[in-house]
């Protein structure tokens, strides 16, 4: 037997909950008619339990049978009694506190038949058999009676029980049985058959629906499933979700999921909605041109898998309006900086490589250490691409065929040393993000991709925005969360699924069977407060559960911010390429924090070994050892933005950056010194 | 082994929450005061000869602020006339106790004290307001009223500036909260060290870069007397989430508080984004983003027995006022100042007149900015 439900057509004050098994009258006391979804069969019991009452009204629930078909959407009267009754073809009675044994009398002389002894339709057995199936007698009883341990007696003496039929928990059933050519209707209240209350019902004239008027003090009733096992004892569903609803878009299909607060969508409409959002985000920006080479960053995670699937769908022949860019896929292997993934990392990475190849576009696996690998840039050609798709091990530093592994192994050692020298997980995570970004940019640049697409979804970007603010990167948050990130001169980063929530990503993946691969990150299996990003993620997602507008609010903040991109080589951070935000006035946080660290140190007479203040790194404790390296901490810091300064401060020695980064920084510093020297002779400073 | 002070080599007794340096008591005082002094000098907060009101609540921030302001004023010869200014919200069991602290401070520091109460300004104490509105949303009233009350008290005292004890943690928390709420107007304003344009008195926050923990530390070692009890009406507000987040981030990286302020300072708002234009309230003349300021709307609601009038979405509020105006009692905010009708209810305008002060417009010409 399928689940018994209320009919979706009901009085205007009724709201159906819990998969249409609960009827709740939202207001007033009238306009609360409900029907059974299907017509009752002879002998079938339609049982409801009173779940909520509302004091202040007089009268209680009414229940009965009608031959009006709710599917015809006939105009509903205000009340079951007397309105529906008067319309005919309906047999309805009010449930009262007592005297429910209303014995129907067609002779008009009620006294003569009043004491007629009727036989209970329920019998005496523990298991009650009806033509539709059998169920335990206990289901007809209020839960409270069952719990009171004396239900043996209460079955027979329910009239003496203190619980009233109109109380919360009371279970009231309606059924009819065929007697000759007609049917008689019976109430069953809390396990007791009240005897025939209507006779001569022409049941052959049309199907009989149960009708419940959630009237008066009765506020909410639930259908008790008698014929569907286990259903009534299952865990309660969340109140808001009512999956029996129709899709709010097409209004014909049954909704299968709820996005945002209460928007129910069917599968087809959800797909249209999501795909449209993806296409519109790309389309509105007018940035991705026909035939453009686009590098798609793929991590194996849900978001980038979703992005990859959307792209392949959009490029396929069957797509309505075909996307016209040329994708190439890249996976970055970050195992060099993760100590904890070695055992299982191999198979996961193999799976990622397989998934990439399956998509059928040019693909490659690169290693994170290439970001600092010295001779990496500048020499990759198209021909390398095909070999790269085969195996990620072949995809290394091809510029120097004699010793690619040497270079790479050296870089691997170097990058491990770099990460182990960074004290805090926050800074490690930040450094990893920056290096990954660099590598993507360089690969795109070398291979002639003008765009990089990343699978950042809205939830992730909101987390990034807040965690960037907490790391002093306020000047960059606009770039970090907008659709396009233009900090690199010839490669643009775009985020086509930035309007997706992580929930939508998960729904999309699950409906399409998109596979994603789990790879551990730096903060996997660490506690909530292990890094700022990790903490912010827990904070934002936690807040999102209670305040569903959190992510969109944060994104909205990001959209209103701007980053003016400044030209010139010295206006961007040497590490993250974001605009430098350190040129601030005297009254500023940067200035204040520098003063703080200065004032809590010795006023005069620096610690030995650091010489006078002009060459001291500012630490004043001789820890910098800068002279031998040729670059001082001050100088390194001067070309970094505030956020990157924070990250490098967490390094044991900020000047111990990988050689490649270090070279770039020294180059920057030399250039700026040169410029300083010739400053007086430059006619237009912009031309330098 | 005793840890040495990073400045004087004496034995250190504390670790600075802000920098992690071990310092002795006197060197900590020195560093703390110098930093506040530097903030004041760098931001050019004051000019010689000004009268400055210190917003004093009796809590830790304002108690330390009063003490440090007096110290620095004497030491560096700012040439300021300092006065204490307190607002009595009328919260029994909270504010009456903390005002006792302020009164003790007044005697200890020998500064004049002025107390303005919600009751005299608005005709309502917070206790009475809570009776009307309940424990939810009462902070909206208190916050809106306090902001104005402080200004009005300051105008009565004819001061040039108000300083408040907002510390770095407070500002970082406000930045995060405004990001969470998407409130770009406030996000831009909240990191400014001095706020208040024409029409209202400038307010500054000399503790903008001072950590809350250091303020407590300063008060603890100086044995400064302050009142530390949560407001009895303080609810589980949205701000609490931001506060908890700040505390957690600070644990991970102590500099994060200043980092967040730096982020707030370096945010630049798109030129295309429409910012709320600040004007003056038609009724009381106080600075306001809307035609009628929030305080007047809230007060109107209270006086009419519709305490929820100013709570919730703006459009709903406007609709409610429009409905009321149809009954012919209230001016809709859009209608402009010209057709102001007299109302039988005591509006802020009347309340102000009863205090024989011009509430419409502060007499800016007399003040020396």
Regarding predicted confidence, which is higher, A433 or B229? Answer: A433
Span A26-34, mean pLDDT? 89
pLDDT score of B363: 36
Mean pLDDT of all residues belonging to chain B: 80
Q: Delineate the domains of chain B, giving CATH numbers in brackets.
A: 28-268 (3.40.50.620), 278-322 (no CATH)
Span A70-84, mean pLDDT? 87
Say which CATH number the domain at A29 has: 2.60.120.920
- Cβ contacts of B231 within 8 Å, gap of 6 or more: B91, B94
Residues B209, A531: C-beta atoms closer than 8 Å: no
Residues A587, B251: C-beta atoms closer than 8 Å: no
Q: What are the chain B neighbours of A562 within 8 Å (beta carbons)?
A: 268-271
Residues A535, B249: C-beta atoms closer than 8 Å: yes
**Selected residues 142-171 of chain B with any CB under 8 Å from a CB in chain A:** none
A370-419 pLDDT tens trace: 887 755 444 443 334 434 443 343 344 344 444 567 777 888 888 888 88
A251-301 pLDDT tens trace: 888 888 887 767 788 888 899 899 999 999 988 888 888 889 999 999 989
Tokens read off for B185: 């107007």
Residues A553, B34: C-beta atoms closer than 8 Å: no
pLDDT score of A577: 82
Number of domains in chain A: 2
A676 assigned to some structural domain: no
Q: How many CB pairs under 8 A join A and B?
A: 165
Span A3-32, mean pLDDT? 88
Span B149-159, mean pLDDT? 88
Residues A200 and A310 in one domain: no
pLDDT score of B334: 41
pLDDT score of A169: 83
Say which CATH number the domain at A348 has: 3.40.50.620
Mean pLDDT of all residues belonging to chain A: 78
Question: How far away is chain B from the Cα of A640, in angstroms, using its nearest Cα?
Answer: 15
How far apart are alpha carbons A48 and A554 in whole angstroms?
46
A465 touches chain B (CB under 8 A): yes
Residues A355 and A443 in one domain: yes
B41-89 pLDDT tens trace: 999 899 999 999 999 988 889 999 999 999 999 999 999 999 999 999 8
* Residue A88 binned pLDDT confidence (cut-offs 50, 70, 90): confident
A599 assigned to some structural domain: no
pLDDT at A608 over 50: no
pLDDT at A465 over 90: yes
How far apart are alpha carbons A311 and A307 in whole angstroms?
6
Tokens read off for B2: 């005793």
Which residues of B participate in the annotated binding site? 55-57, 61, 87, 165, 170
Residues A534 and A418 in one domain: yes
pLDDT at B126 over 80: yes
Question: How far away is chain B from the Cα of A411, in angstroms, using its nearest Cα?
Answer: 29
Tokens read off for A318: 């069957």
pLDDT score of A139: 79
**Lowest mean pLDDT segment, chosen from A101-105, B32-36, B46-50:** A101-105
ipTM of the modeled complex: 0.80
Question: How far away is chain B from the Cα of A496, in angstroms, using its nearest Cα?
Answer: 21
- Last residue of one domain, picked from the residues A560, A589, A618: A560
A513-537 exposure pattern, b = at least 16 Cβ within 10 A, e = fewer: ebebbebbbbbeeeeeebbbbbbbb
**Selected residues 258-277 of chain B with any CB under 8 Å from a CB in chain A:** 258-271, 273
Question: How far away is chain A from the Cα of B359, in angstroms, using its nearest Cα?
Answer: 34
What are the residues facing A373 on neighbouring strands? none
Residues A177 and A308 in one domain: no
**Lowest mean pLDDT segment, chosen from A235-239, A327-331, B215-219:** A235-239
Range of the domain at A54: 6-102+121-146+164-223
Regarding predicted confidence, which is higher, A6 or A194? Answer: A6
Q: What are the chain A neighbours of B266 within 8 Å (beta carbons)?
A: 474-475, 581, 584, 642
B34, B256, B258: residue with CB nearest A599: B34
How far apart are alpha carbons B218 and B29 in whole angstroms?
7
Pairing of strands B287-288, B279-280: antiparallel
A80 assigned to some structural domain: yes
How far apart are alpha carbons A302 and A304 in whole angstroms?
6
**Lowest mean pLDDT segment, chosen from A442-451, A587-596, A654-663, B321-330:** B321-330
Helix or strand holding residue A330 (H, E): strand A326-333
Contact A166, A187 (CB under 8 A): no
Residues B209, A589: C-beta atoms closer than 8 Å: yes
* Residue B239 binned pLDDT confidence (cut-offs 50, 70, 90): confident
Residues A351 and A495 in one domain: yes
B163-182 pLDDT tens trace: 999 999 999 999 999 999 88
A596 touches chain B (CB under 8 A): yes
Residues A301 and A448 in one domain: yes
B177 touches chain A (CB under 8 A): no
Residues A217 and A320 in one domain: no
Residues A217 and A310 in one domain: no
Residues B42, A474: C-beta atoms closer than 8 Å: no
B236 touches chain A (CB under 8 A): no
pLDDT score of B359: 36
Residues A15 and A94 in one domain: yes
* Residue B349 binned pLDDT confidence (cut-offs 50, 70, 90): very low
A615 assigned to some structural domain: no
Regarding predicted confidence, which is higher, B212 or A116? Answer: B212
Which residues of B participate in the annotated binding site for ATP? 55-57, 61, 87, 165, 170
A426 touches chain B (CB under 8 A): yes
**Could you tell me the pTM of the whole model?**
0.68
A252 assigned to some structural domain: no
Residues A202 and A331 in one domain: no
B44, B184, B259: residue with CB nearest A470: B259
Contact A205, A5 (CB under 8 A): no
**Lowest mean pLDDT segment, chosen from A301-310, A342-351, B160-169, B273-282:** A342-351
- Last residue of one domain, picked from the residues A223, A250, A272: A223
Residues A589, B23: C-beta atoms closer than 8 Å: no
**Number of alpha carbons in the 13 Å side-chain half-sphere of residue B360:** 3
pLDDT score of A682: 73
A463 assigned to some structural domain: yes
Q: What are the chain A neighbours of B253 within 8 Å (beta carbons)?
A: 424, 426, 471, 532, 646
Question: How far away is chain A from the Cα of B170, in angstroms, using its nearest Cα?
Answer: 14
- Last residue of one domain, picked from the residues A539, A560, A581: A560
Provide the 3-class DSSP secondary structure of residue A449.
coil
Residues A581, B193: C-beta atoms closer than 8 Å: no
The residue with tokens 């808001």 is A240
Q: How many residues does chain A have?
A: 688
In 3D space, the residue among A491, A431, A433, A507 whose CA is nearest the CA of residue A463 turns out to be: A433
Distance in Å from the first CA to the final CA of chain A? 83
The residue with tokens 């070279």 is A663
Residues A182 and A297 in one domain: no
Helix or strand holding residue B14 (H, E): strand B14-15
pLDDT at A583 over 60: yes
Please state the φ and ψ torsions of residue B345, each to the nearest 5 degrees: -85, 150
Q: What are the chain B neighbours of A465 within 8 Å (beta carbons)?
A: 179
pLDDT at A151 over 50: no
A675 assigned to some structural domain: no
pLDDT score of B344: 36
A536, A561, A600: residue with CB nearest B19: A600
- Cβ contacts of A136 within 8 Å, gap of 6 or more: A126, A127, A128
Tokens read off for A607: 């610690």
Q: Can you say whether the dihedral through the CA atoms of A179, A183, A189, A191 is positive or negative?
A: positive
pLDDT at A611 over 60: no
Helix or strand holding residue A333 (H, E): strand A326-333
**Lowest mean pLDDT segment, chosen from A385-399, A639-653, B208-222:** A385-399
E-strand ranges in A515-611 read 561-562
Q: What are the chain A neighbours of B208 within 8 Å (beta carbons)?
A: 592
- Cβ contacts of B217 within 8 Å, gap of 6 or more: B14, B17, B28
Helix then strand then coil, in percent of chain B rounded to 5, is: 45, 10, 45
In 3D space, the residue among A594, A593, A613 whose CA is nearest the CA of residue A603 turns out to be: A613
B255-267 pLDDT tens trace: 999 999 999 988 8
Residues A203 and A296 in one domain: no
- Of chain B, the percentage scoring pLDDT greater than 70 comes to 81
pLDDT score of A464: 94
Provide the 3-class DSSP secondary structure of residue A431.
helix
DSSP A168-190: TT-EEEEEEEEETTEEEEEEEET
A560 touches chain B (CB under 8 A): yes
Residues B249, A595: C-beta atoms closer than 8 Å: no
pLDDT score of B248: 93
A242 assigned to some structural domain: no
**Peptide bond just before A82 cis, omega within 30 deg:** yes
**Lowest mean pLDDT segment, chosen from A218-227, B60-69, B161-170, B320-329:** B320-329
User: If you measure CA to CA, which chain A residue comes closest to B257?
Assistant: A470
pLDDT at A492 over 60: yes
pLDDT at A567 over 70: no
Instruction: For residue A316, give the DSSP letter.
Output: S
């Amino acid at each position: 037997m399928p689940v018994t439900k209320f009919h979706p057509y009901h009085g205007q004050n009724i709201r159906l909950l819990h998969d249409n098994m609960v009827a709740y009258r939202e207001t007033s006391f009238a306009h609360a008619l409900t029907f059974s979804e299907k017509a009752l069969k002879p002998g079938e019991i339609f049982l409801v339990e009173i779940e909520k009452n509302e004091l202040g009204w007089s009268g209680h629930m009414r229940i009965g049978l009608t031959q009006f078909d709710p599917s015809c959407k006939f105009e509903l009267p205000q009340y079951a009694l007397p309105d529906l009754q008067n319309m005919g073809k309906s047999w309805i009675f009010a449930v009262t506190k007592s005297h429910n044994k209303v014995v129907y009398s067609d002779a008009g002389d009620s006294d003569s038949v009043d004491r007629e002894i009727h036989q209970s339709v329920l019998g005496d057995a523990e298991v009650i058999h009806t033509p539709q199936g059998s169920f335990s007698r206990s289901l007809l009883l209020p839960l409270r009676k069952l719990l009171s341990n004396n239900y043996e007696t209460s079955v027979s003496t329910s009239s003496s029980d203190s619980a009233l039929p109109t109380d919360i928990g009371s279970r009231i059933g309606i059924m009819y049985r065929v007697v000759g050519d007609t049917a008689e209707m019976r109430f069953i209240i809390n396990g007791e058959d009240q005897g025939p209350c209507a006779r001569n019902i022409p049941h052959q004239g049309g199907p009989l629906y149960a009708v419940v008027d959630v009237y008066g003090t009765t506020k909410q009733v639930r259908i008790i499933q008698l014929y569907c096992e286990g259903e009534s004892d299952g865990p309660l569903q969340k109140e808001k979700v009512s999956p029996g609803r129709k899709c709010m878009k097409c209004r014909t299909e049954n909704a299968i999921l709820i996005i945002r607060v209460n928007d129910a969508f069917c599968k087809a409409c959800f797909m249209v909605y999501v795909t449209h959002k993806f296409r519109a985000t790309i389309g509105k920006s007018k940035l991705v041109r026909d035939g453009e080479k686009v590098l798609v960053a793929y991590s194996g995670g849900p978001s980038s898998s979703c992005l990859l699937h959307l792209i392949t769908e959009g490029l396929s022949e069957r797509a309505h309006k075909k996307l016209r860019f040329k994708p190439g896929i890249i996976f970055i292997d970050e195992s060099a900086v993760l100590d904890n993934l070695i055992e299982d990392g191999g198979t996961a990475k193999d799976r990622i490589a397989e998934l990439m190849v399956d998509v059928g576009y040019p693909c490659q696996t690169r290693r994170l250490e290439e970001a600092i690998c010295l001779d990496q840039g500048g020499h990759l050609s198209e021909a390398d691409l095909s070999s790269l798709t085969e195996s990620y091990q072949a995809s290394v530093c091809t510029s120097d065929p004699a010793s690619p592994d040497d270079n790479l192994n050296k870089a691997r050692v170097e990058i491990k040393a770099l990460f182990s020298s960074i004290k805090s997980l926050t800074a490690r995570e930040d450094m990893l993000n920056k290096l990954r970004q660099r590598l993507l940019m360089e690969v795109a640049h070398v291979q002639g991709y003008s765009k990089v697409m990343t699978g950042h979804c809205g939830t992730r970007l909101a987390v990034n925005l807040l965690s960037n603010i907490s790391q002093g990167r306020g000047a960059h948050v606009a770039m970090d969360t907008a659709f396009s990130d233009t900090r690199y001169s010839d490669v643009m980063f775009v985020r086509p699924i930035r309007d997706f929530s992580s929930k939508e990503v998960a729904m999309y993946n699950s409906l399409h069977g998109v596979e994603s691969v789990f790879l551990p990150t730096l903060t996997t299996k660490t506690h909530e407060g292990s890094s700022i990003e990790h903490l912010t993620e827990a904070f934002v997602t936690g807040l999102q559960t209670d305040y569903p507008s959190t992510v969109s609010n944060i994104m909205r903040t990001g959209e209103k911010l701007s980053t003016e991109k400044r030209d010139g080589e010295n206006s961007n951070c040497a590490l993250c390429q974001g605009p430098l935000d350190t040129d601030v006035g005297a009254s500023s946080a940067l200035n204040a924090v520098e003063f703080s660290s200065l004032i809590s140190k010795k006023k005069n007479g620096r610690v030995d070994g650091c010489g006078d203040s002009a060459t001291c790194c500012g630490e004043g404790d001789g820890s910098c050892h800068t002279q031998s390296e040729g670059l001082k901490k001050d100088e390194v810091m001067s070309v970094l933005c505030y956020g990157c300064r924070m990250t490098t401060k967490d390094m044991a020695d900020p000047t111990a950056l990988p050689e490649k980064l270090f070279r770039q920084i020294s180059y920057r510093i030399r250039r700026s010194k040169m410029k300083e020297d010739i400053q007086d002779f430059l006619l237009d400073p912009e031309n330098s | 082994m005793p840890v040495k002070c990073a400045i004087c080599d004496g034995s250190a007794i504390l670790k600075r929450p802000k920098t992690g340096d071990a310092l002795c008591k006197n060197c900590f005082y020195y560093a703390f005061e110098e930093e506040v002094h530097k903030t004041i000098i760098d931001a050019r907060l004051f000019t010689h000869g000004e009268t400055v009101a210190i917003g004093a609540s009796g809590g830790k921030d304002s108690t330390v602020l009063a003490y440090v302001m007096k110290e620095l004023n004497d030491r560096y010869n700012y040439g300021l006339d300092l006065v204490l200014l307190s607002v009595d919200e009328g919260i029994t069991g909270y504010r009456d106790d903390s005002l006792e602290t302020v009164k003790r401070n007044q005697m200890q520091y020998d500064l004049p004290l002025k107390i303005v109460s919600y009751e005299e300004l608005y005709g309502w104490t917070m206790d009475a307001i809570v009776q009307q509105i309940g424990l939810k949303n009462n902070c909206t009233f208190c916050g809106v009223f306090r902001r104005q009350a402080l200004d009005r008290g300051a105008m009565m005292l004819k001061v040039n500036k108000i300083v408040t004890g907002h510390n770095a943690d407070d500002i970082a928390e406000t930045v995060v909260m405004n990001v969470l709420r998407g409130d770009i107007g406030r996000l831009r304003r909240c990191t400014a060290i001095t706020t208040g344009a024409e029409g209202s008195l400038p307010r500054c926050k000399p503790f903008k870069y001072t950590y809350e923990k250091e303020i407590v530390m300063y008060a603890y070692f100086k044995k400064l007397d302050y009142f530390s009890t949560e407001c009895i009406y303080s609810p589980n507000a949205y701000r609490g989430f931001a506060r908890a987040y700040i505390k957690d981030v600070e644990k991970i990286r102590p500099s994060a508080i200043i980092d967040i302020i730096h982020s707030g300072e370096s945010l630049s708002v798109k030129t295309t984004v429409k910012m709320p234009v600040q004007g003056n309230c038609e009724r009381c003349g106080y600075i306001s983003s809307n035609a009628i300021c929030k305080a007047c709307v809230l007060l109107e609601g209270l006086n009419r027995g519709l305490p929820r009038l100013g709570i919730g979405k703006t459009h709903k509020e406007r609709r409610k006022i429009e409905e009321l105006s149809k009954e012919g009692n209230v001016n809709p905010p859009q209608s402009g100042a010209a057709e102001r009708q007299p109302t039988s209810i005591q509006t802020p305008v009347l309340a102000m007149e009863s205090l024989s002060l011009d509430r419409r417009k502060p007499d800016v010409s007399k003040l020396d900015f």
